[in-house]
Copies of this chain bind each other. A is one copy, B any other.
Protein backbone atom coordinates (compact mmCIF):
# COMPACT_ATOMS: atom_id res chain seq x y z
CA UNK A 1 0.00 0.00 0.00
CA UNK A 2 1.30 3.48 -0.77
CA UNK A 3 0.55 6.90 0.72
CA UNK A 4 -2.34 7.70 -1.60
CA UNK A 5 -3.96 4.29 -1.20
CA UNK A 6 -3.84 4.70 2.56
CA UNK A 7 -5.40 8.15 2.30
CA UNK A 8 -8.11 6.83 -0.01
CA UNK A 9 -8.93 4.06 2.42
CA UNK A 10 -9.25 6.66 5.16
CA UNK A 11 -11.66 8.69 3.05
CA UNK A 12 -13.68 5.65 2.03
CA UNK A 13 -14.10 4.39 5.59
CA UNK A 14 -14.35 7.89 7.07
CA UNK A 15 -11.86 6.82 9.71
CA UNK A 16 -8.23 7.12 10.69
CA UNK A 17 -8.63 4.63 13.50
CA UNK A 18 -6.04 1.94 14.07
CA UNK A 19 -7.43 -0.67 16.44
CA UNK A 20 -4.67 -2.03 18.64
CA UNK A 21 -4.78 -5.73 19.43
CA UNK A 22 -2.93 -5.86 22.76
CA UNK A 23 -4.65 -9.14 23.39
CA UNK A 24 -3.68 -10.14 26.90
CA UNK A 25 -5.32 -13.45 27.83
CA UNK A 26 -5.18 -12.50 31.52
CA UNK A 27 -7.79 -9.83 30.77
CA UNK A 28 -10.11 -11.94 28.59
CA UNK A 29 -13.62 -12.81 29.76
CA UNK A 30 -13.59 -16.28 31.35
CA UNK A 31 -15.55 -17.95 28.54
CA UNK A 32 -12.89 -16.83 26.03
CA UNK A 33 -9.99 -17.91 28.21
CA UNK A 34 -11.35 -21.46 28.14
CA UNK A 35 -11.14 -21.78 24.35
CA UNK A 36 -8.35 -23.70 22.65
CA UNK A 37 -7.12 -20.60 20.79
CA UNK A 38 -8.26 -17.82 23.11
CA UNK A 39 -6.25 -15.00 21.52
CA UNK A 40 -7.53 -15.75 18.07
CA UNK A 41 -11.11 -16.15 19.29
CA UNK A 42 -10.89 -12.85 21.13
CA UNK A 43 -9.33 -11.08 18.15
CA UNK A 44 -11.85 -12.51 15.70
CA UNK A 45 -14.73 -11.16 17.73
CA UNK A 46 -13.05 -7.75 18.12
CA UNK A 47 -12.26 -7.61 14.39
CA UNK A 48 -15.83 -8.54 13.41
CA UNK A 49 -17.13 -5.77 15.65
CA UNK A 50 -14.67 -3.07 14.56
CA UNK A 51 -13.78 -3.77 10.93
CA UNK A 52 -16.18 -1.18 9.55
CA UNK A 53 -14.52 1.48 11.69
CA UNK A 54 -10.86 0.48 11.44
CA UNK A 55 -8.58 1.54 8.64
CA UNK A 56 -5.71 -0.28 10.38
CA UNK A 57 -5.03 -2.93 13.01
CA UNK A 58 -1.95 -3.17 15.18
CA UNK A 59 -1.24 -6.41 17.04
CA UNK A 60 1.31 -5.79 19.79
CA UNK A 61 3.72 -8.67 19.44
CA UNK A 62 4.65 -8.98 23.10
CA UNK A 63 1.22 -10.40 23.89
CA UNK A 64 1.62 -13.13 21.26
CA UNK A 65 5.25 -13.98 22.02
CA UNK A 66 4.42 -14.35 25.70
CA UNK A 67 2.36 -17.41 24.70
CA UNK A 68 5.19 -19.08 22.78
CA UNK A 69 4.68 -20.99 19.51
CA UNK A 70 0.90 -21.13 19.94
CA UNK A 71 0.83 -17.36 20.36
CA UNK A 72 2.82 -16.90 17.16
CA UNK A 73 0.36 -19.18 15.35
CA UNK A 74 -2.58 -17.12 16.57
CA UNK A 75 -0.84 -13.95 15.38
CA UNK A 76 -0.64 -15.47 11.90
CA UNK A 77 -4.30 -16.50 12.04
CA UNK A 78 -5.24 -12.98 13.13
CA UNK A 79 -3.45 -11.34 10.19
CA UNK A 80 -5.06 -13.80 7.77
CA UNK A 81 -8.47 -13.16 9.27
CA UNK A 82 -8.14 -9.40 8.90
CA UNK A 83 -7.01 -9.79 5.27
CA UNK A 84 -10.01 -12.01 4.53
CA UNK A 85 -12.50 -9.60 6.10
CA UNK A 86 -11.13 -6.52 4.32
CA UNK A 87 -8.09 -6.72 2.10
CA UNK A 88 -7.65 -2.93 2.16
CA UNK A 89 -6.85 -2.77 5.87
CA UNK A 90 -3.35 -1.64 6.84
CA UNK A 91 -1.83 -4.15 9.29
CA UNK A 92 1.00 -3.08 11.58
CA UNK A 93 3.29 -5.42 13.50
CA UNK A 94 3.96 -3.46 16.69
CA UNK A 95 7.33 -5.10 17.20
CA UNK A 96 9.67 -2.15 17.87
CA UNK A 97 12.55 -4.08 16.37
CA UNK A 98 15.95 -2.59 15.60
CA UNK A 99 19.02 -4.62 14.69
CA UNK A 100 21.91 -4.68 12.24
CA UNK A 101 21.66 -5.47 8.53
CA UNK A 102 21.41 -9.24 8.20
CA UNK A 103 19.25 -9.53 11.32
CA UNK A 104 16.98 -6.71 10.19
CA UNK A 105 16.56 -8.49 6.86
CA UNK A 106 15.41 -11.60 8.71
CA UNK A 107 12.89 -9.58 10.71
CA UNK A 108 11.62 -7.97 7.50
CA UNK A 109 11.18 -11.44 6.06
CA UNK A 110 9.36 -12.62 9.20
CA UNK A 111 6.86 -9.75 9.16
CA UNK A 112 6.41 -9.00 5.47
CA UNK A 113 6.77 -12.42 3.83
CA UNK A 114 5.81 -15.00 6.43
CA UNK A 115 3.11 -12.91 8.10
CA UNK A 116 1.89 -10.47 5.43
CA UNK A 117 2.04 -7.35 7.58
CA UNK A 118 2.07 -3.99 5.78
CA UNK A 119 4.31 -2.28 8.32
CA UNK A 120 6.57 -2.86 11.29
CA UNK A 121 7.35 -0.47 14.14
CA UNK A 122 11.09 0.06 14.59
CA UNK A 123 13.40 1.57 17.20
CA UNK A 124 15.94 3.96 15.64
CA UNK A 125 18.80 3.68 18.15
CA UNK A 126 21.16 1.64 15.91
CA UNK A 127 20.71 3.95 12.93
CA UNK A 128 20.15 3.48 9.23
CA UNK A 129 21.36 -0.16 9.05
CA UNK A 130 18.45 -1.14 11.21
CA UNK A 131 15.81 0.70 9.12
CA UNK A 132 16.94 0.22 5.51
CA UNK A 133 16.09 -3.49 5.13
CA UNK A 134 12.44 -2.65 5.85
CA UNK A 135 12.33 -0.17 2.95
CA UNK A 136 13.25 -2.61 0.22
CA UNK A 137 9.81 -4.00 -0.58
CA UNK A 138 7.42 -1.79 -2.51
CA UNK A 139 4.27 -1.14 -0.54
CA UNK A 140 5.76 -2.11 2.85
CA UNK A 141 6.43 0.43 5.56
CA UNK A 142 8.82 1.18 8.41
CA UNK A 143 7.15 3.03 11.30
CA UNK A 144 9.93 4.55 13.36
CA UNK A 145 9.66 5.52 17.03
CA UNK A 146 10.11 9.27 17.37
CA UNK A 147 8.38 10.77 20.42
CA UNK A 148 6.55 8.10 22.37
CA UNK A 149 3.66 8.47 24.80
CA UNK A 150 5.28 6.94 27.89
CA UNK A 151 6.47 9.03 30.84
CA UNK A 152 10.13 8.11 30.40
CA UNK A 153 10.22 9.34 26.80
CA UNK A 154 12.12 12.28 28.29
CA UNK A 155 15.02 10.09 29.41
CA UNK A 156 16.56 10.15 25.92
CA UNK A 157 14.07 11.07 23.17
CA UNK A 158 13.79 14.74 24.08
CA UNK A 159 17.44 15.35 24.94
CA UNK A 160 19.00 18.05 22.83
CA UNK A 161 21.48 16.95 20.21
CA UNK A 162 23.06 20.24 19.26
CA UNK A 163 20.10 22.58 18.82
CA UNK A 164 17.41 19.98 18.23
CA UNK A 165 15.86 17.22 20.31
CA UNK A 166 16.88 13.65 19.48
CA UNK A 167 13.39 12.74 18.22
CA UNK A 168 13.59 15.54 15.63
CA UNK A 169 17.00 14.33 14.51
CA UNK A 170 15.50 10.84 14.15
CA UNK A 171 12.58 12.08 12.08
CA UNK A 172 14.74 14.23 9.81
CA UNK A 173 17.24 11.40 9.25
CA UNK A 174 14.58 8.83 8.45
CA UNK A 175 12.87 11.27 6.07
CA UNK A 176 16.14 11.22 4.10
CA UNK A 177 16.38 7.42 4.10
CA UNK A 178 12.85 6.67 2.94
CA UNK A 179 9.84 8.46 1.46
CA UNK A 180 6.31 9.33 2.53
CA UNK A 181 5.29 6.11 0.74
CA UNK A 182 7.25 3.83 3.04
CA UNK A 183 8.01 5.59 6.32
CA UNK A 184 5.91 7.02 9.13
CA UNK A 185 6.63 8.03 12.71
CA UNK A 186 5.29 7.17 16.13
CA UNK A 187 4.32 10.33 18.01
CA UNK A 188 2.32 10.04 21.21
CA UNK A 189 -1.06 11.71 21.64
CA UNK A 190 -0.13 12.73 25.16
CA UNK A 191 1.84 15.74 23.87
CA UNK A 192 -0.40 17.39 21.29
CA UNK A 193 1.68 20.60 21.28
CA UNK A 194 4.61 18.57 19.99
CA UNK A 195 2.50 17.34 17.07
CA UNK A 196 2.20 20.92 15.86
CA UNK A 197 5.96 21.41 16.12
CA UNK A 198 6.62 18.17 14.25
CA UNK A 199 4.28 19.23 11.45
CA UNK A 200 6.54 22.24 10.83
CA UNK A 201 9.46 20.07 9.71
CA UNK A 202 7.54 16.93 8.72
CA UNK A 203 4.40 18.21 7.02
CA UNK A 204 3.48 15.27 4.78
CA UNK A 205 4.37 11.96 6.40
CA UNK A 206 1.83 9.84 8.17
CA UNK A 207 2.12 9.73 11.97
CA UNK A 208 1.04 6.73 14.01
CA UNK A 209 -0.36 8.20 17.19
CA UNK A 210 -0.81 6.02 20.28
CA UNK A 211 -1.96 7.29 23.64
CA UNK A 212 -5.61 8.14 22.91
CA UNK A 213 -7.99 6.66 25.47
CA UNK A 214 -6.46 5.02 28.50
CA UNK A 215 -3.31 7.14 28.35
CA UNK A 216 -5.28 10.40 28.22
CA UNK A 217 -4.87 11.78 24.68
CA UNK A 218 -7.91 12.88 22.68
CA UNK A 219 -8.87 12.53 19.01
CA UNK A 220 -9.77 16.23 18.87
CA UNK A 221 -6.36 17.45 19.97
CA UNK A 222 -4.49 15.00 17.78
CA UNK A 223 -6.55 16.04 14.74
CA UNK A 224 -6.21 19.74 15.52
CA UNK A 225 -2.42 19.68 15.77
CA UNK A 226 -1.42 16.69 13.66
CA UNK A 227 -3.73 16.44 10.65
CA UNK A 228 -2.49 17.43 7.20
CA UNK A 229 -4.22 17.68 3.83
CA UNK A 230 -4.01 13.90 3.34
CA UNK A 231 -5.15 13.26 6.92
CA UNK A 232 -1.61 12.07 7.73
CA UNK A 233 -2.75 10.34 10.91
CA UNK A 234 -3.41 6.86 12.15
CA UNK A 235 -4.69 7.15 15.70
CA UNK A 236 -4.21 3.94 17.62
CA UNK A 237 -6.63 2.91 20.35
CA UNK A 238 -6.06 -0.41 22.05
CA UNK A 239 -7.44 -0.99 25.50
CA UNK A 240 -10.28 1.54 25.25
CA UNK A 241 -11.71 -0.56 22.41
CA UNK A 242 -10.69 -4.18 23.06
CA UNK A 243 -11.37 -3.97 26.77
CA UNK A 244 -14.13 -1.34 26.65
CA UNK A 245 -16.40 -3.73 28.55
CA UNK A 246 -14.14 -3.46 31.60
CA UNK A 247 -14.60 0.30 31.81
CA UNK A 248 -18.33 0.20 31.24
CA UNK A 249 -20.18 1.34 34.33
CA UNK A 250 -23.73 0.46 33.33
CA UNK A 251 -23.30 -3.22 34.22
CA UNK A 252 -24.46 -4.09 30.70
CA UNK A 253 -21.23 -5.95 29.95
CA UNK A 254 -20.41 -7.38 33.34
CA UNK A 255 -18.23 -10.47 33.13
CA UNK A 256 -17.41 -9.64 29.54
CA UNK A 257 -20.64 -10.86 28.01
CA UNK A 258 -20.79 -9.20 24.58
CA UNK A 259 -17.32 -7.77 25.05
CA UNK A 260 -17.21 -7.45 21.26
CA UNK A 261 -20.35 -5.34 21.21
CA UNK A 262 -18.72 -3.01 23.73
CA UNK A 263 -15.67 -2.79 21.46
CA UNK A 264 -17.80 -1.99 18.42
CA UNK A 265 -19.63 0.76 20.29
CA UNK A 266 -16.37 2.26 21.51
CA UNK A 267 -14.90 2.23 17.98
CA UNK A 268 -18.09 3.72 16.52
CA UNK A 269 -17.96 6.62 18.98
CA UNK A 270 -14.32 7.37 18.18
CA UNK A 271 -14.96 7.26 14.45
CA UNK A 272 -17.97 9.53 14.78
CA UNK A 273 -15.61 12.14 16.17
CA UNK A 274 -12.98 11.41 13.50
CA UNK A 275 -15.53 12.05 10.75
CA UNK A 276 -16.06 15.61 12.00
CA UNK A 277 -12.38 16.33 11.45
CA UNK A 278 -12.13 14.50 8.11
CA UNK A 279 -15.10 16.46 6.77
CA UNK A 280 -13.88 19.86 7.88
Contact of A145 among B70, B76, B126 (CB under 8 A): B126
Please judge, given known A-B contacts A69-B70, A166-B159, whether A63 and B127 are in contact too, CB under 8 Å: no
Q: Which of A99-107, A134-142, A247-255 is found at the contact surface with chain B? A: A99-107
Q: In the docked arrangement, what's the CA distance between A67 and B72, Å?
A: 10
A72 nearest in chain B by CB position: B69
Contacts of A109 in B (CB 8 A): 66
Report whether B160 and A166 are in contact in the complex, using a CB–CB cutoff of 8 Å. Answer: no
Q: Does A170 contact B (CB under 8 A)?
A: yes
Q: Does A216 contact B (CB under 8 A)?
A: no
Q: Chain B nearest CB: distance from A103 CB in Å?
A: 5
Contacts of A104 in B (CB 8 A): 62
Please judge, given known A-B contacts A109-B66, A114-B68, whether A156 and B166 are in contact too, CB under 8 Å: yes
Q: Which of A125-180 contact B (CB under 8 A)?
A: 125-130, 145, 148-157, 159-162, 166, 169-170, 173
Contact of A106 among B66, B103, B126 (CB under 8 A): B66
Report whether B98 and A126 are in contact in the complex, using a CB–CB cutoff of 8 Å. Answer: no
Report whether A173 and B155 are in contact in the complex, using a CB–CB cutoff of 8 Å. Answer: yes
Q: Chain B nearest CB: distance from A165 CB in Å?
A: 10
Q: Chain B nearest CB: distance from A169 CB in Å?
A: 7
Task: Give this chain's copy count.
Answer: 2
Contacts of A100 in B (CB 8 A): 148-150
Q: Does A73 contact B (CB under 8 A)?
A: yes
Q: Chain B nearest CB: distance from A115 CB in Å?
A: 8
Please judge, given known A-B contacts A69-B73, A73-B69, A161-B159, whether A129 and B152 are in contact too, CB under 8 Å: yes
Please judge, given known A-B contacts A68-B76, A107-B62, whether A161 and B157 are in contact too, CB under 8 Å: no
Q: Does A78 contact B (CB under 8 A)?
A: no
Q: Chain B nearest CB: distance from A26 CB in Å?
A: 10
Q: Chain B nearest CB: distance from A15 CB in Å?
A: 25
Report whether A130 and B103 are in contact in the complex, using a CB–CB cutoff of 8 Å. Answer: no
Report whether B66 and A114 are in contact in the complex, using a CB–CB cutoff of 8 Å. Answer: yes
A214 nearest in chain B by CB position: B102
User: Chain A residues in contact with chain B, CB under 8 A?
Assistant: 22, 24, 60, 62-63, 65-73, 76, 96-104, 106-107, 109-110, 114-115, 123-130, 145, 148-157, 159-162, 166, 169-170, 173
The 9 tightest CB contacts between A and B, nearest first, are A127-B155, A127-B152, A62-B106, A128-B152, A100-B150, A66-B110, A129-B152, A69-B73, A69-B69
